[in-house]
Structure 1
């Protein structure tokens, strides 16, 4: 009997040993199996899900779901839409764009509503992509602002990429160029310069200047490209985009004065935005020669981003008030008065005439007037301005009579049709037409310009 008890005890001991070994092996297999993509039993899976932290969703202003799910398996239901703005996540959290800059609230599970309107964003991206591909450009950007609030309704970059497959895309395409790429804006800056001088009483809309096609100035020769009369008033210096005319306007202006306006427009410093953005380059006025001041007055020798240019032009649209752009709903914008309201409204009318007289078919659709200015700037390559690489720009707002939207278009490196009037202005027109349709904006009363009468006035006016 004792012998049987001894055998039984040995069997029980061996059984416990086998059970312990089996359990150890099972746990070891589970630790190996899970990282290799295996699935846990249902009860274990529930426990594991509970340990994965939730992540806040991203929504557009018009309630489109833009990003959802935990960081490890983040999904982007709209695919390519606003890809460079939204950014993407990795195992540890946000890696690019808003996914990175809003990491704290998103990682705490707090949903975020953006100011982006998905329909306007889609229109901007589509118009930019079609034009960019047609002219074989390198890249481009579009910014659409609500002029009153400064809300960013669209921040488009081309070429785009699919956020759900970001690992397969070159990092060059991840870049939010609309906020991060600096460029010399060219002639669009002429409108900002003229607004400052009107505001200071240093010129008037009808003041006439001698404007030959070439002028010796500050040790060099300034040239104009668009043929024009030998005498132009201030409005028509903008209409014909006359560099010579700009030298007349600024030749007696103290550098500190023009610099202070450029800074007030938001140039030379980054914007207080929820996305990384650049300062741009605005040299200190103590370094301005007469030639440098002249070239900066028509957009060379300083640099900015498309977003900065939109914020600056919005001052003209917004009755002289600078409103800092925002991309997160509920953000309180910084505001400051830069121009007197009457100066800004005069600029609205001037820039409306500039479009109506100069590029009506390129920038407008029948019944919907716009105000704005084109720019075509040579790009510095290897320390010298290139004769084959350009930025094509249009900055403007609409409706002209009562602005609601400010839009900037910039396309870099087009191989054909690179003039701002040929490329950037038609992109603006497409975006404007789509917004007018989706927002059911009422057509404006048509305007006619009496150019014959204008030339007669020029012949009889005094000249400076």
Structure 2
């Protein structure tokens, strides 16, 4: 019996030894390569190699991508999605490499020419909300991030809040048209100066003493805006601004700012007036792009998307007929005002400029301005929406002088890239019978 038991035990020893002895030397770990970051066409923006993390495209989209250090991601997507990247998950961005590169180049050249402090551009695909370009200035090379600092790393297009100025007039007019509180041809008494709510509202661009609603946009009349919103309930305008995305989070995989939009119960007649023409509220460039894209997209807000896997999220803001009226209105604003500065020859675009004083030390500066432009193209069948902000230009700081020509350059590049032929047909403008 003892012999039989001994034989049975020894027959199990090989299996026990095989289970107990590890197949790899003790202490050795299998490392998972950090996930890559690339564009939809496969272009690599970040990849792990035996020599460390590499950024093959240099500064392209660097403020979005970020960089890594010894302990993992330190900025941008590298930091925000560090755990996913560490686990080997790769990211595919919606950016178009060609549009991103040409937009960054145009922005950099403009910033250098006017000696600006900073700037950002967002190009949004109208129907899908895909971000095809997110350009920031200044920027940096993530392969040499240690030689730069936070001012170069900042993803300003989604984090920098600013008072946008007169671009907001388009959103205000759209909101009032939606509520049937005005019409494109309704006329208003509009002197160059008007006492209002304890102060005096001034216009800069000379205009006739009576303006129709579309002309208030055409001449960017602050006085005209006080006429439009006089007697309008604050909740009406606040609700519309929120529907356009102002003061609300933008869901992206990187840190974003919400902007500032005061609760309507805190509005006074003066703050409502200034908000109607873009002061007293703030937003980011990506919020500005998404708001104007709502007009381009026949009244449907599309949430901006940075990952190809992000779901499409929409909400209805304007009736389609109101949005299309605004499309024609904003085309008229360009053609009747700054056509040569904003519109590539042979093409038709729609948009609005803005210029706002920047608050420095709690007071509006006489020397520092934000120059903005938001618009879409082609005017009759929009495909892309573009928003631009430049801060602190030393010269040519007006939106019509700086942001509008930058829009024209970016638009020209995209039209050329897609091989879009010039149009011989002029879209009908709202002021026509």
Residue 401 of structure 2: aligned partner:
422
2:112 matched to which residue of 1? 133
Q: Which moved more, 1:92-101 or 1:295-304?
A: 92-101
Tell me the distance in 2 between the aligned counterparts of 1:266 and 1:256. Answer: 15
Residue 167 of structure 2 corresponds to residue 199 of structure 1: no
Q: Secondary structure at the match of 2:372?
A: strand
Partner of 2:236: 257
Instruction: Say which of 253, 277, 282 aligns to 1:298.
Output: 277
Task: Determine the structure 2 residue equivalent to 1:315.
Answer: 294
1:83-94 map, 5 Å? 83-94=62-73
The TM-score, its normalising length taken from structure 1, stands at 0.85
Where 1:414 maps in the other structure, the secondary structure is: coil
C-alpha deviation, 1:449, in angstroms:
9.3
Tell me if structure 2 keeps the 8 A contact 1:147–1:318: yes
State the partner residue of 1:385.
364
Structure of larger gyration radius: 1
Q: After the TM superposition, which of the residue ranges 85-94 and 188-197 deviates more from structure 2? A: 85-94
Normalised TM-score (structure 2): 0.91
Tell me which moved more, 292-301 or 362-371.
362-371
In structure 2, what is the equivalent of residue 442 of structure 1? Answer: 421
Rounded Cα–Cα distance in structure 2 between residues aligned with 1:367 and 1:102: 44
CA positional deviation for 1:49? 10
Give the match for residue 239 of structure 1. 218
State the Cα distance separating 1:309 from its structure 2 match: 0.7
Alignment of 1:7-406 (within 5 A): 51-69=30-48, 73-406=52-385
Alpha-carbon distance in structure 2 between the residues aligned to 1:174 and 1:290? 40
- Report deviation, 1:422: 0.5
Asked if structure 2 preserves the Cα contact closer than 8 Å seen for 1:71 and 1:93, the reply is: no
Corresponding residue number in structure 2 for 1:413 = 392
Which stretch of structure 1 is more off in the superposition, 241-250 or 162-171? 162-171
Q: Secondary structure at the match of 2:173?
A: helix
CA RMSD of aligned residues (A): 2.1
State the 1:99 CA deviation.
Answer: 1.1
- What do residues 167-196 of structure 1 show as CA deviations (whole Å, max 9, x unaligned)? 111222111011000000000000000000
Cα distance change of structure 1 residues 48 and 299 upon mapping to structure 2, 3 Å threshold: farther
Shift of 1:363: 0.7
More helix by share: 1
Structure 1 residues 270 and 123, CA gap change in structure 2 (3 angstroms) = same
Work out the CA distance in 2 between the residues paired with 1:287 and 1:448.
Answer: 41
CA deviation after TM superposition for structure 1 residue 305, in Å: 0.5
For the 8 Å contact 1:55–1:70, the answer to whether it is kept is no
Task: Kindly state the Cα deviation for residue 160 of structure 1 after the two structures are TM-superposed.
Answer: 1.2
Residues 50 and 443 of structure 1, relative CA distance in 2, 3 Å threshold: farther
Please list every run of 5 or more consecutive structure 1 residues that lacks an aligned counterpart in the other structure: 1-46, 458-464
Quickly say closer, same or farther: Cα 1:89–1:72, change in 2 above 3 A: farther
For 1:81 and 1:165, how far apart are their aligned partners in 2?
13
- Work out whether residues 379 and 427 of structure 2, in 8 Å CA contact, stay in contact via their aligned partners in 1: no
Judged with a 3 Å threshold, the aligned counterparts in structure 2 of structure 1 residues 70 and 266 are, in CA distance, closer, same or farther, namely farther
Q: Distance in 1 between matches of 2:239 and 2:397?
A: 32
For structure 2, the residue ranges without an aligned partner over 5 or more in a row are 1-25
* Bigger mean CA offset, 419-428 vs 329-338: 329-338
Cα 1:273–1:282 shift into 2, 3 Å: same
Counterpart secondary structure, 1:281? coil
The separation in 1 between residues aligned to 2:120 and 2:40, in whole angstroms, is 20
Checking the alignment, whether the CA contact within 8 Å between 2:328 and 2:427 is kept in structure 1 is no
Q: Any runs of at least 4 consecutive aligned residues in structure 1 with deviations exceeding 6 A, and if so which? A: 47-50
Kindly state the Cα deviation for residue 48 of structure 1 after the two structures are TM-superposed. 11
Which whole-Å deviations, capped at 9, do the CAs of 1:75-134 have from their partners, x for residues lacking one?
000001011100011122211111112223211212211001111011111111001000
- Alignment coverage as a number of residue pairs: 409
- Partner Cα separation in structure 1 for residue 428 and residue 173 of structure 2: 21
Distance (whole Å) between structure 1 residues aligned to residue 28 and residue 173 of structure 2: 61
